[in-house]
């Protein structure tokens, strides 16, 4: 057990540190305020710390160190303009008042897109911290982001990025988009005041609690309908967030932060009833969830692999596997109905010493998109892409500007055969904090190649009671079998076939009558991947 030093000794040590390279502060109540401000800052209560530092600053307006700490609080409260004013004031009063003055000024410049000015401040910070290898590593981290941003902004991708609009977004945090395979339902998370609870998280960041919303696609207006709270029992007085929605739109994977039931954050599932309401969320269980943070669960297109992020393995190895950073991407294979095998870490090619998450497996079953503030980020979190080839993940590739920016892009998904992407970002020009943005990806689609154009058939097999069926699927063309496959225990299947052809699909399962259907499978002749969603119902014999 740690031994607590007497209060007077703590105040003496704190005051000694604060008096270094600053003006003399009265040894009355200011010392206690500084001590309490420091404690609040270290606990993440930046607003309380700011108010205390301001009280001291009002009595000591020319104290450089206090000005720095006021700026530091403002910076972490997302008041970068005001923070920069305080850092510049501190620097003008005493450039040596705190070794992080140049570093924090550089961060303010970086977030304003003034990359050359940021690099100059980082270089100055490097000189001040030459004997501190930990601080040098941090300075280099931000410097490299600026250099990456300059390079990528000089060669932008030919894509069009637009805000999803006021029907989806609000002046608050709107994030984590997920869309059903038929493109008709958008599910996302938001921290707006009209949620299940109109209270703010006083023990957290002071923002409204997070809830899950949905929008429907209006094909006549070619736009999303106004967002509304998800119907049913999904949302509560606490925090709920979308991880992903199954392609058939009937199973929702979600993150629940409940200090009692979820130990601070775990993965849950909810199922949609025939009435359209969502059932009470259920914990996905041990193995996927641990005593550590888990989030971001999403299934592979065939439903047999779950990807998710976890902080397990950071302190002690998890079943012989170590974690590589704060939040890593893990995967688990399906071994039965609602049962998953032991998770495995995707390894150091994908995971870094920083955070990885925002996972989206592409329809081809080989490509994985994710966000990271490691690798070669432009600043904050960027979207990266990796492929599973020859039994290993390839080195992640930054998706480039303006898909990524100097701000944070945390979730990315492709729809419409790869022609359209959705990303959540706190970039400039939005309606509030984080917004959902739409990206026209048409120009990035692969050019038409010689040979057959491949298309996808995706769907789910159910029985008459609406329960999934593991079935055999046979595809024939002109009476000759061309492909066969199986649906998973969750009923999901995906078949890749030559496009622009007509096929007969036969679905069979023991104890059920076979289902047959003739399907005209189109082809995207511009180089993308055409995808059709087709569900089958098998009735008992």
pLDDT digits (tens, 9 = 90+) for 17-42: 443 434 444 555 889 999 999 999 99
The CATH number assigned to the domain holding 465 equals: 2.60.40.10
Question: Do 419 and 482 belong to one domain?
Answer: no
The CATH number assigned to the domain holding 260 equals: 2.120.10.30
Tokens of 433: 């904090």
Question: What mean pLDDT do residues 305-309 have?
Answer: 96
The answer to the question of residue 120 being in a domain is: yes
Question: Do 148 and 181 belong to one domain?
Answer: no
The answer to the question of residue 332 being in a domain is: yes
450 — pLDDT class (breaks 50, 70, 90)? low
Q: Which of 401, 421, 444 is the last residue of a domain?
A: 444
The pTM of this model reads: 0.81
Write down the pLDDT at residue 409.
Answer: 97
* Cα–Cα distance, 519 to 335 (Å, whole number): 31
* Cα–Cα distance, 252 to 246 (Å, whole number): 6
The CATH number assigned to the domain holding 127 equals: 1.25.40.10
Question: Do 432 and 481 belong to one domain?
Answer: no
Lowest-confidence segment of 34-38, 80-84, 527-531 by average pLDDT = 527-531
Write down the pLDDT at residue 352.
Answer: 96
The answer to the question of residue 2 being in a domain is: no
525 — pLDDT class (breaks 50, 70, 90)? low
Closest to 22 (Cα-Cα) out of 72, 73, 60, 77: 60
Any idea which residue has 């098998």 for tokens? 538
Boundaries of domain holding 481: 454-538
* C-alpha gyration radius of the chain: 26
pLDDT digits (tens, 9 = 90+) for 182-205: 889 999 999 999 888 878 887 777
* Cα–Cα distance, 232 to 236 (Å, whole number): 10
Tokens of 500: 């622009």
Domains identified in the chain, total number: 3
Question: Do 312 and 400 belong to one domain?
Answer: yes
Question: Do 325 and 223 belong to one domain?
Answer: yes
Q: Which of 421, 444, 467 is the last residue of a domain?
A: 444
Backbone angles phi, psi at 459, to 5 degrees: 180, -165
Contact indicator for 377, 145 with CB cutoff of 8 Å: yes
SS3 of residue 246 by DSSP = coil
Backbone angles phi, psi at 216, to 5 degrees: -105, 155
Contact indicator for 318, 312 with CB cutoff of 8 Å: yes
Position 4 pLDDT exceeds 50? no
Question: Do 423 and 497 belong to one domain?
Answer: no
* Cα–Cα distance, 378 to 374 (Å, whole number): 10
Q: What is the dihedral of CA 82, 87, 90, 94, to 10 degrees?
A: -170
Backbone angles phi, psi at 49, to 5 degrees: -60, -45
Write down the pLDDT at residue 359.
Answer: 97
Question: Do 466 and 379 belong to one domain?
Answer: no
Position 115 pLDDT exceeds 60? yes
* Cα–Cα distance, 516 to 529 (Å, whole number): 24
Question: Do 90 and 175 belong to one domain?
Answer: no
CA 362 to chain centre: 16
């Amino acid at each position: 057990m740690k031994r607590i030093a007497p209060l007077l000794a703590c105040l003496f040590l704190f005051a000694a540190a604060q008096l270094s390279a600053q003006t003399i502060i009265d040894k009355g109540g200011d010392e206690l305020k500084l001590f309490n401000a420091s404690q609040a800052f270290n606990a993440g209560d930046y607003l309380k710390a700011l108010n205390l530092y301001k009280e001291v600053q009002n009595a000591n307006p020319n104290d450089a160190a206090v000005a720095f700490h006021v700026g530091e609080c403002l910076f972490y409260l997302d008041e970068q303009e005001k923070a920069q004013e305080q850092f510049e004031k501190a620097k003008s009063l005493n450039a040596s008042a705190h070794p992080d003055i140049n570093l924090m000024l550089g961060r303010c410049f970086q977030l304003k897109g003034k990359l050359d000015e940021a690099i100059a401040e980082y270089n100055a910070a490097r000189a001040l911290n030459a004997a501190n290898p930990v601080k040098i590593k941090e300075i280099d981290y931000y410097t490299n982001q600026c250099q990456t941003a300059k390079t990528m902004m000089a060669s932008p991708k030919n894509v069009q990025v637009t805000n999803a609009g006021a029907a989806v977004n609000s002046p608050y945090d709107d994030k984590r988009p997920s869309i059903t395979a038929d493109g008709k339902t958008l599910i996302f998370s938001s921290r707006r005041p009209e949620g299940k609870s109109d209270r703010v998280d006083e023990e957290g960041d002071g923002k409204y609690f997070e809830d899950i919303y949905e929008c429907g696609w209006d094909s006549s207006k070619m736009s999303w309908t106004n967002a509304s709270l998800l119907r049913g029992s999904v949302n509560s007085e606490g925090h709920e967030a979308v991880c992903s929605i199954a392609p058939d739109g009937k199973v929702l994977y979600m993150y629940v932060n409940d200090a009692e039931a979820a130990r601070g954050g775990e993965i849950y599932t909810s199922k949609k009833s025939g009435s359209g309401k969502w059932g009470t969320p259920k914990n996905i269980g041990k193995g996927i969830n641990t005593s550590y943070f888990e989030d971001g669960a999403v299934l592979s297109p065939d439903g047999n692999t779950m990807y998710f992020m976890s902080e397990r393995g950071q302190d002690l190895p998890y079943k012989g596997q170590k974690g590589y950073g704060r939040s890593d991407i893990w995967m688990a294979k399906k071994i039965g109905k609602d049962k998953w095998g032991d998770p495995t870490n995707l390894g150091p090619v994908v995971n870094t010493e920083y955070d990885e998450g925002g996972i989206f497996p592409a329809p081809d079953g080989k490509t994985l998109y994710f966000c990271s503030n490691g690798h070669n980020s432009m600043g904050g979190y960027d979207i990266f892409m990796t492929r599973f080839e020859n039994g290993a993940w390839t080195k992640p590739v930054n998706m480039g500007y303006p898909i990524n920016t100097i701000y944070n892009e945390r979730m990315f998904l492709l729809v419409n055969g790869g022609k359209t992407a959705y990303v959540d970002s706190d970039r400039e020009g939005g309606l509030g904090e984080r917004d959902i943005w739409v990206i026209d990806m048409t120009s990035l689609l692969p050019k038409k190649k010689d040979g057959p154009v491949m298309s996808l058939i995706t769907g789910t097999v159910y029985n008459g009671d609406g329960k999934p069926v593991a079935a055999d699927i046979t595809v024939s063309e002109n009476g000759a079998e061309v492909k066969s496959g199986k649906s998973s225990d969750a009923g999901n299947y995906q078949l890749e076939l030559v496009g622009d052809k007509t096929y007969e699909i036969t679905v069979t399962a023991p104890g059920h009558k076979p289902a047959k259907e003739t399907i005209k499978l189109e082809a995207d002749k511009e180089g993308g991947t055409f995808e059709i969603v087709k569900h089958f119902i098998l009735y008992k014999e």
